[in-house]
Amino acid sequence: MMDLDDLGLKAHNQSRADSHQQAFARLADTLTDAGADVEALLSRIQAFQVAIPSWALGTGGTRFGRFPGGGEPRSLEEKIADVGVLHALNRNSGAISLHIPWDIPTDPAAVRQLASHYGLVFDAVNSNTFQDQPDQAESYKFGSLCHADPVVRAQAVAHNLEVIQHGLALGSQALTVWLADGSSFPGQLNFRKAFARTLESMKEIYAGLPSGWQMFVEYKAFEPNFYSMVVQDWGSALLFTQKLGPQAKVLVDLGHHLPNANIEQIVALLMAEGKLGGFHFNDSKYGDDDLTVGAIKPYQLFLIFCELVYGMQQTGAQPLAWMIDASHNLKDPLEDLLQSVEAMLLAYAQALLVDQAKLEMAREANDVVMAQELLQGAFRTDLRPLLAEARRRAGGAIAPLTAFREAKVRAQLIRERGHKVLATGL
Amino acid sequence: MMDLDDLGLKAHNQSRADSHQQAFARLADTLTDAGADVEALLSRIQAFQVAIPSWALGTGGTRFGRFPGGGEPRSLEEKIADVGVLHALNRNSGAISLHIPWDIPTDPAAVRQLASHYGLVFDAVNSNTFQDQPDQAESYKFGSLCHADPVVRAQAVAHNLEVIQHGLALGSQALTVWLADGSSFPGQLNFRKAFARTLESMKEIYAGLPSGWQMFVEYKAFEPNFYSMVVQDWGSALLFTQKLGPQAKVLVDLGHHLPNANIEQIVALLMAEGKLGGFHFNDSKYGDDDLTVGAIKPYQLFLIFCELVYGMQQTGAQPLAWMIDASHNLKDPLEDLLQSVEAMLLAYAQALLVDQAKLEMAREANDVVMAQELLQGAFRTDLRPLLAEARRRAGGAIAPLTAFREAKVRAQLIRERGHKVLATGL
Amino acid sequence: MMDLDDLGLKAHNQSRADSHQQAFARLADTLTDAGADVEALLSRIQAFQVAIPSWALGTGGTRFGRFPGGGEPRSLEEKIADVGVLHALNRNSGAISLHIPWDIPTDPAAVRQLASHYGLVFDAVNSNTFQDQPDQAESYKFGSLCHADPVVRAQAVAHNLEVIQHGLALGSQALTVWLADGSSFPGQLNFRKAFARTLESMKEIYAGLPSGWQMFVEYKAFEPNFYSMVVQDWGSALLFTQKLGPQAKVLVDLGHHLPNANIEQIVALLMAEGKLGGFHFNDSKYGDDDLTVGAIKPYQLFLIFCELVYGMQQTGAQPLAWMIDASHNLKDPLEDLLQSVEAMLLAYAQALLVDQAKLEMAREANDVVMAQELLQGAFRTDLRPLLAEARRRAGGAIAPLTAFREAKVRAQLIRERGHKVLATGL
Amino acid sequence: MMDLDDLGLKAHNQSRADSHQQAFARLADTLTDAGADVEALLSRIQAFQVAIPSWALGTGGTRFGRFPGGGEPRSLEEKIADVGVLHALNRNSGAISLHIPWDIPTDPAAVRQLASHYGLVFDAVNSNTFQDQPDQAESYKFGSLCHADPVVRAQAVAHNLEVIQHGLALGSQALTVWLADGSSFPGQLNFRKAFARTLESMKEIYAGLPSGWQMFVEYKAFEPNFYSMVVQDWGSALLFTQKLGPQAKVLVDLGHHLPNANIEQIVALLMAEGKLGGFHFNDSKYGDDDLTVGAIKPYQLFLIFCELVYGMQQTGAQPLAWMIDASHNLKDPLEDLLQSVEAMLLAYAQALLVDQAKLEMAREANDVVMAQELLQGAFRTDLRPLLAEARRRAGGAIAPLTAFREAKVRAQLIRERGHKVLATGL
């Protein structure tokens, strides 16, 4: 198991101390001149924690193939260790989100202790009714919670209830339900029955929700079904959660929309309704491409964070489940995740920098030019030294990706785990 | 004013009687062999009435220009006469939908009488807060019902209330509210405030709704605002109508969606919620292209009608406002409307032909192949002779477009009204 | 191996003879009345042959999972037998397209003889440089013909040359090159170098092309790379083929375009340039969904066939490689292929029905309404009895799908081959 | 006419001198530390000149309406004065692009002198065959260069030749041909004939091109035609320019693509072919939204500039026509243009900052993570003080938009020109 001391953080930070301090000092002066409270920003950045999904620690693939890297985690314990490395480097990856049945904890107490050793907590647990497991009685080929056959629906409900139990044992407080249910051909599905059956199934799951828990209903426009999805957009997801009750919330995955959708508006409306529960961050150009957060549309990411920051201000402490959900087909998964967390933090910090009072004044005056200036002014500000300082103070690396490479983490993992191992996941 | 006797329907039908009877007899035999009730189909087809929007009787245009035809209606009376011609030809265009302030009736009683002369009733009335009228106190440049300034909102509310009064005088029973409100730049609008203000304004309009009336909330993904629209999709529209009350329903315009949206599923869900109120039919490839119904995606049109037919069966007599909303940039508007009504009727008749019992059996058995066969079997059936027979029996033309051309209606309208007139509209 | 006599075609056709003859007689009368030459149509329909790809005979999947059916072909011989069944049923599936290395023929002479037994010829052979094979020296993770490393490029070139040899041995006359090459992240690829390297590699393959052969360059907008594809659209593909020479042509796959692309126009332009070489038919709503041909957009399919029919008239006998390229995730692959071939034949026959002379007259007169009437008139004509008659005369089934089910082919294949076998493919 | 001394630039710059110098000094240190040559960057930024289109100086609109501002230019002379104001403020708007017939210069010598007074030259001239002018013999309703009627084509060719003459008189060296030609309905157009006729017409225009001139062929995916455009994408545009000759080049407008198109790859390929001639900058979310440059997708803008910078390095001095083509529906046109030029300069400067050598090394090593780091490192750098310094040294404003507002330019223009004037344009 990777020893965090081997990451060489002290040496890394010492070698960069001078140049970092200079860059940070310049930025701090600039921000202070502009009226920002640098210390407050630093503490909010430090408090921001992103959950890492257990299935994103191995190489992903497409239906055309998969090109594994090496040193992938072979067990839940090794997945936790990988997230531990990330968190040690950036101090913003302090949670892990499990996927059942890929990550069933056989000894929950030991798993919790291991996570705690790395400073990690368990975020939402995820059920899987989009694949058939080898020992499974009924097939999900034609759906799970929406299936025409009540026996299949019952199996899928039971699976979700079991996932809750695993989550309880680990200290999770939310269940994420993503359904592949839908149809690939016109006529295949009775839309009304599919909705009603799914609702009925969800109600059974909801009834099994422990107090204090939330149930996240995730929507997706298409894939793996190519004509319709039962929970196809935020409108459907909201409708389900309205009918389920106050513990049901909507989960937004950035890649699950039709082309050109205005996601930030959806975020704003869901927050206004008190129905935004969680977030799967990634980036995409065409569909659910599951690319590194911020790799394609960093400005959209910033605009989403503007709504999140504003929405949280409006509603007080609405705890959101922030998670990365990407697929690392080409990049080293850990490097990819470091880039993703950095992009999220940057967008978050820039959103914090927006002068809300001035923005509202410009909006009320229909000063469209000024409203854009205010947003782009924040977005164009280079806050990387601020993030580095927040990490440094929290005991992380000034430059996590560089530190990761300097410490030759991947080579060490390959030595430990081998070259040809495959982590569970997509 | 066009004399309907000049349409020469008798001669037209006589000259086609033999070939039509032969074609109809062949089809009737085929349908009867397949177990269909031809007479029942005929009477349902005859009962189907499409509303013609008053603004679709003149040449439309794009922001790049407008190429007027000739003989466009110069007044509300001439618009009614044009719809009268359509209805005389196809017997399925028995309603007209007015747009205020383009069509303010100065003498409602006379206007009702004129419409009645042509066998027409008045469908939903439409308000307009997307343009500034010459004498208007406040501008809608930055929105109407969502505007930051309460004075502008009040003006827009008052306009809608006035539109209701015009509608009342004519016998309409519904108000359609389509809002161009939105933003073209990130930052311009506070999404939450825009929603809340629009809701507040809508509530004032809703409060002025006569009993028996409905208020249709129409959504649109983009244009004329190019970053966000306040009522951007069915999810938002549903949310507004939920908060307004039972007289508020959603209106679906086929061209108002993001690329690749599954509109038939939206229709099904809205009907299941009892919240589908009306429909604007047209066709499009890219955006709100406002092309002739069925010109681009006739199969999608059929699938939508399958949901409408099924939904009406499920919920009993849910009266829907069927309307065409197209823009005739290149075609003669009346010819375009004849093609649109024909395409709608064809899709409707094909949807009636679907064997619902077999379809449900295939669905319950996950027989995807058979479900497709059943839908495509209906879609591939050539029902044009059936439509012709329904029209013939109702006193219309066997071939409305041909009759229109044979009667040289456009030439006559140009002689009457001139070449360079411009009807109000887009 | 499936005995074609077991299909029970004679009994099937006899039991349907009367109703078919009646339906066909009615249609033939209608067509003859309208001036069509029914016998000429029948012979053109019979002559139309669609190639079946060897990889479409098993259950497909998505990155989220694969739900196998049963009785999938375990060998090239069994794949040929499956296509033999299709061809026996519809007489329009007289070719097979192989994919190397999934279908390497160990005894080409025997394979040719087997195919010949079923009346099949070998269409284009397909290379595969989008996956790594177990014994492969170099990885295609970062591209093949475009790879930065000349050693990888050389391996990919050698593979293509080897595929040609396999094709030669079987009597193929074309090589299809589809590249997954591209990038998933901005910055990953030097677009200019990637193009130049790919061109250089293609030139080496082109140099190894036997005389009489064609090389098809296939393009794709996205997937499996999610930021850029080296051959991303018809413009790029055309550029490559221009630089390669007269034996290089473009291959169009219907699912490989950006949303809303006008594919029929691309077909028309490629044919006008003499550069359309082949076609992969399927249908889709979102991306490369690989659904049954005609399942989503049958009118688009018809419009494409209108261009193909017109283009072949203009240029004389331009032999095109027509192929289906679909993925059967939910349907029985053989049933899906029967539906696909039927949809293609229907669109082809309807396109043959278009009155080209009248259409050109309408176009020259800018009579947009009439041009639409002419196309939709052909599309709305129900030509299914014509297809059935063509099949019947050629010795096929009046209703291939029904015959397939009546003969319980799948049950027989499962008995023969087992339930859990997996064919190679996607 | 606006006196440039009224802009109060000196006072503006003096009041900001200290804070600017501090910010610039910090940035210069940071850049120098990172190995950049600040002086070289400054001189390249100063050399970068963007052409302002004459039609973008007034309020734009959509087909739904137009909400004019005030003080719009009433004549070509006033348009030149407006561009003069922009150029005085930012020193990067030193060219103007005219649109005929909206801006026919009656006294070219005087117009040239006026432009020269403001330091402006004349960029590409633009023809207009997408609208009918009042006195025009033939209508472009059904196309211009592609029209079925040779008389209409001849008129459109003659217009283009006349535009060249106007351009010659003013010192332009390029003609931009954007065609609205296309079709809104399947069947309307014979794609092959439309292409051939357009080519024939273009050849006649090309034949009239003065030596040293270029002809830019602009493509567009859709609008104002909604089914097909004759020059629909870069593939078609390239094909036309190949057939025309070396003086013909492609012009790319950012808003003229299908959803999700990778524009930067198109730019790279056109430059590699030596066929990129010019650029229309704007931004968009849905279609040709014509929004402020950089307002929606600033990272895409940066990626395009990366290709432009790299392409110009590769091919030596390939002079490109950089132009803004936006429509200012909501913003003050001059403020919008100041924002657009700033966004372009920022993207250009960031692209100059990319370490090409390191980037190529990362690419050759398939180090995808590092390639992204290098691009995003440049993009995340806040270069606004560098742009301000370049402007200051060139005699412009440190903060052009602020200076524009401080000088109350719009109020002055309204006083001069009135409130209700409408500039020609869209």
Predicted confidence at residue A287, as pLDDT, reads 96
Listed residue (C44, C2, C49, C42) closest to C324, CA to CA: C49
Predicted confidence at residue D6, as pLDDT, reads 84
- CA B402, distance to chain mean position in Å, is 23
Show residues of chain A in contact with D382, CB under 8 Å.
380-382
Predicted confidence at residue A6, as pLDDT, reads 84
Is residue A227 within 8 angstroms of chain C, CB to CB? Answer: yes
Tens-digit pLDDT profile for residues A127-147: 999 999 999 999 999 999 999
State the DSSP H helix or E strand holding residue C371, giving kind and residue range, or none if neither. helix C368-380
| 8 A C-beta contact, residue C157 and residue C175 | no
| 8 A C-beta contact, residue D100 and residue D94 | no
Share of chain A above pLDDT 70, in %: 98
| 8 A C-beta contact, residue A280 and residue A253 | yes
Tens-digit pLDDT profile for residues C74-120: 999 999 999 999 999 999 999 999 999 999 999 999 999 999 999 99
Tens-digit pLDDT profile for residues B297-329: 999 999 999 999 999 998 775 667 889 999 989
Classify C359 as helix, strand or coil.
Answer: helix
Share of chain B above pLDDT 90, in %: 92
Comparing CB atoms, the residue among A260, A339, A401 nearest residue D285 is: A260
- CA D126, distance to chain mean position in Å, is 12
Min Cα separation C60/chain A (Å): 9
Measure the N-to-C terminal CA separation of chain D; round to a whole number of Å: 24
- Mark yes or no for CB contact A185/B368 under 8 Å: yes
Min Cα separation B184/chain A (Å): 9
Number of residues assigned to chain B: 426
Q: Which of A244-253, D162-171, D413-422 has the lowest mean pLDDT?
A: D413-422
In DSSP terms, which residues pair with C321 in a beta bridge? C278
Handedness of CA C307, C311, C313, C318 (dihedral sign): negative
Predicted confidence at residue B193, as pLDDT, reads 98
- In B254-314 the beta strands, taken as DSSP E runs, fall at 276-281
pLDDT greater at residue A259 or residue D5: A259
Listed residue (A164, A161, A139, A136) closest to A152, CA to CA: A139
State the DSSP H helix or E strand holding residue A254, giving kind and residue range, or none if neither. none
Listed residue (C162, C153, C160) closest to C196, CA to CA: C153
Min Cα separation A356/chain C (Å): 32
Predicted confidence at residue D384, as pLDDT, reads 98
Residue A67: closest C-alpha in chain C: C141
The token duo for D365 is 């090593």
Classify A19 as helix, strand or coil.
Answer: helix
- Mark yes or no for CB contact C272/D196 under 8 Å: yes
Share of chain C above pLDDT 70, in %: 98
Listed residue (D226, D225, D218, D224) closest to D270, CA to CA: D218
Interface of C with D in 61-90 (CB under 8 A): none
Is residue A101 within 8 angstroms of chain C, CB to CB? Answer: no
Share of chain B above pLDDT 70, in %: 98
Listed residue (B411, B277, B225, B253) closest to B332, CA to CA: B411
Residues 6+ apart with CB under 8 A from C282: C253, C254, C255, C289, C290, C291, C292, C293, C324, C325, C326, C327, C340
Tens-digit pLDDT profile for residues C273-330: 999 999 999 999 999 999 999 999 999 999 999 999 999 998 775 667 889 999 989 9
Predicted confidence at residue D426, as pLDDT, reads 65
| 8 A C-beta contact, residue B250 and residue B241 | yes
**Substitution target from A300, A339, A372 for chain D, most D beta carbons within 10 A:** A372
Classify C220 as helix, strand or coil.
Answer: coil
Predicted confidence at residue C1, as pLDDT, reads 64
Show residues of chain A in contact with D262, CB under 8 Å.
285
The token duo for D321 is 């026509």
In DSSP terms, which residues pair with C228 in a beta bridge? C183
Listed residue (B95, B68, B3, B10) closest to B337, CA to CA: B95
Tens-digit pLDDT profile for residues C214-271: 999 999 999 999 999 999 999 999 999 999 999 999 999 999 999 999 999 999 999 9
Tens-digit pLDDT profile for residues D88-132: 999 999 999 999 999 999 999 999 999 999 999 999 999 999 999
Cα angle: A47, vertex A52, A55; to 5 degrees: 175
Q: Is the pLDDT of residue D319 over 70?
A: no
Tens-digit pLDDT profile for residues D12-51: 999 999 999 999 999 999 999 999 999 999 999 999 999 9
Q: Is the pLDDT of residue A269 over 90?
A: yes
- Mark yes or no for CB contact A64/C180 under 8 Å: yes
Chains that touch B (3 or more CB pairs under 8 A): A, C, D
Handedness of CA A394, A399, A403, A405 (dihedral sign): positive
Classify D328 as helix, strand or coil.
Answer: strand
Is residue D265 within 8 angstroms of chain C, CB to CB? Answer: yes
Residues B49-57: what's their mean pLDDT? Answer: 94
The token duo for A67 is 């090109």
Predicted confidence at residue B278, as pLDDT, reads 92
Is residue C151 within 8 angstroms of chain D, CB to CB? Answer: no
Tens-digit pLDDT profile for residues B351-397: 999 999 999 999 999 999 999 999 999 999 999 999 999 999 999 99
pLDDT greater at residue C315 or residue D170: D170
Cα angle: D44, vertex D50, D52; to 5 degrees: 165
Confidence of residue A4 (pLDDT cuts 50, 70, 90): confident
- In B240-287 the beta strands, taken as DSSP E runs, fall at 248-253, 276-281
Q: Which of A105-119, B193-207, D53-67, D165-179 has the lowest mean pLDDT?
A: D53-67
**Residue pointed to by tokens 């939910």:** C330
Residues B182, A332: Cα–Cα separation, whole Å: 42
Show residues of chain C in contact with B375, CB under 8 Å.
none
Q: Is the pLDDT of residue D85 over 90?
A: yes
Q: Is the pLDDT of residue B422 over 80?
A: no
Q: Is the pLDDT of residue A196 over 90?
A: yes
Predicted confidence at residue C242, as pLDDT, reads 98
Model ipTM value: 0.97
Tens-digit pLDDT profile for residues C398-407: 999 999 999 9
Q: Is the pLDDT of residue A371 over 70?
A: yes
- CA D213, distance to chain mean position in Å, is 18
Per-residue DSSP letter, B226: S
Min Cα separation B81/chain D (Å): 26
- By CB neighbour count within 10 A (0-12 exposed, 13-18 middle, 19+ buried), where does A345 fall? buried
Min Cα separation C52/chain D (Å): 30
Handedness of CA B402, B404, B407, B413 (dihedral sign): negative
Q: Which amino acid is at A210?
A: P
**Substitution target from B256, B366, B367 for chain A, most A beta carbons within 10 A:** B366
Is residue B299 within 8 angstroms of chain D, CB to CB? Answer: no
Q: Is the pLDDT of residue B350 over 70?
A: yes
Tell how strand A182-183 and strand A228-229 pair up: antiparallel
| 8 A C-beta contact, residue B379 and residue B346 | no
Show residues of chain A in contact with D376, CB under 8 Å.
294, 298
Residues A305-319: what's their mean pLDDT? Answer: 85
Predicted confidence at residue B184, as pLDDT, reads 98
Predicted confidence at residue C425, as pLDDT, reads 66
Predicted confidence at residue C315, as pLDDT, reads 79
What does C23-53 look like in DSSP terms, one character per residue?
HHHHHHHHHHHTT--HHHHHHHHHH---EEE
Cβ-Cβ contacts under 8 Å between A and D: the total is 69
Show residues of chain B in contact with D259, CB under 8 Å.
259
- Mark yes or no for CB contact A366/B148 under 8 Å: yes
List the B121-122 sheet strands across, edge first.
B121-122, B95-97, B51-53, B321-324, B276-281, B248-253, B214-218, B174-178, B125-126
Show residues of chain D in contact with C266, CB under 8 Å.
235
Phi, psi at D317, each rounded to 5°: -75, 85
Chains that touch C (3 or more CB pairs under 8 A): A, B, D
Predicted confidence at residue B87, as pLDDT, reads 98
Predicted confidence at residue A318, as pLDDT, reads 60
Interface of B with C in 380-399 (CB under 8 A): 380-382, 384
Classify C218 as helix, strand or coil.
Answer: strand
Is residue A233 within 8 angstroms of chain B, CB to CB? Answer: yes
Q: Is D71 left (phi over 0), alpha (psi -120 to 50) or beta?
A: left
Residues B92, C69: Cα–Cα separation, whole Å: 48
Min Cα separation A67/chain C (Å): 6
Tell how strand D228-229 and strand D182-183 pair up: antiparallel
Q: How many angstroms separate the Cα of B164 from the Cα of each of A295, B51, B61, B202? A: 51, 18, 28, 13
Confidence of residue D417 (pLDDT cuts 50, 70, 90): very high
- Mark yes or no for CB contact A369/D295 under 8 Å: no
| 8 A C-beta contact, residue D334 and residue D404 | yes
Tens-digit pLDDT profile for residues D184-220: 999 999 999 999 999 999 999 999 999 999 999 999 9
